């Protein structure tokens, strides 16, 4: 069975109704990320950071997977599919994808501030001051903040190196180390980039750019890949 590795970003969740980060009206346009998604912000204003992620978590539970998420599940019928996502939403999980690696954390989870191996599912959409881990410390969002290590990048690099086909869906490829994963994909592997505003990536070999929204471009691409697998 051929291996397809899929790198997704906020763009795949945009048609579900979740904002991207850098599009017009994107998340960071309304909020300066220095105020919200950094360890310093957490120390400076825990209530604001908790409120920001509660707002995003509440939104996440009000939306559902879109045809792009669902098409990637269909791909599993004839390919060994591994998703590597920069997204912290659970839309790939809710769509039914089996192999998902989150690079930047998960909105539905919280972790201890004294022992980062202690990770908990958040009941409902609110994480509040006073919600503590079993060691009695305040729980924080299980999100990789700017300036923090992306611990899953090592397995992500290893997985990218095994791709026969590499799909990049809905990411501006601006934030490293995630944006560098495409450089670990074998030269001869076929790559597809699905993004209505895809920017030229001159240095990438065997790249097919599909300037479509994910909800249209991904189902079409999956249909083509399933036909080719026969």
Can you state the angle between helices 214-229 and 67-74, rounded to 10 degrees? Answer: 10
Closer to ligand APR at the Cβ: 206 or 209? 209
Phi, psi of 70 (to 5 degrees): -70, -35
What is the distance between the alpha carbons of residues 38 and 183, in angstroms, rounded to a whole number? 27
Active site residue 104: yes
How many other β-carbons are positioned within 10 Å of the β-carbon of residue 99? 14
Helix (H) or strand (E) holding 33: helix 33-36
> Closest separation between CB of residue 72 and ligand APR, Å?
13
Closer to ligand APR at the Cβ: 50 or 221? 221
Instruction: Name the residues that contact ligand APR, by CB under 6 A.
Output: 9-11, 14-15, 20-23, 26, 86, 104, 170-172, 174-175, 194-197, 213-214
> Closest separation between CB of residue 31 and ligand APR, Å?
11
> Closest separation between CB of residue 229 and ligand APR, Å?
24
Contacts of 100 (CB under 8 A, 6+ apart): 83, 85, 92, 93
The residue from 69, 92, 102, 104 that is catalytic is: 104
Closer to ligand APR at the Cβ: 217 or 225? 217
State the catalytic residues. Answer: 104
């Amino acid at each position: 069975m051929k291996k397809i590795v899929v790198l997704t970003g906020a763009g795949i969740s945009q048609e579900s109704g979740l904002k991207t980060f850098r599009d017009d009206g994107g998340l960071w346009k309304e909020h300066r990320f220095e105020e919200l998604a950094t360890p310093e912000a957490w120390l400076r204003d825990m209530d604001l950071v908790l409120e920001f992620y509660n707002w995003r978590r509440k939104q996440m539970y009000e939306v559902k997977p879109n045809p792009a998420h669902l098409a990637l599940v269909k791909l599993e019928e004839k390919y060994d599919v591994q998703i590597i996502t920069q997204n912290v939403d659970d839309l790939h999980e809710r769509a039914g994808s089996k192999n998902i690696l989150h690079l930047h954390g998960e909105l539905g989870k919280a972790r201890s501030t004294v022992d980062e191996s202690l990770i908990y599912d958040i009941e409902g959409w609110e994480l509040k001051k006073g919600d503590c881990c079993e060691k009695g410390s305040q729980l924080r969002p299980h999100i990789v903040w700017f300036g923090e290590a992306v611990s899953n990048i090592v397995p992500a690099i290893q997985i990218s190196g095994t791709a026969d086909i590499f799909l990049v869906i809905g990411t501006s490829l601006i934030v490293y180390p995630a944006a560098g994963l495409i450089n670990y994909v074998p030269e001869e592997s076929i790559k597809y980039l699905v993004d209505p505003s895809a920017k030229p990536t001159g240095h990438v070999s065997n790249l097919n750019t599909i300037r479509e929204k994910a909800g249209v471009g991904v189902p079409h691409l999956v249909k083509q890949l399933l036909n080719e697998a026969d």
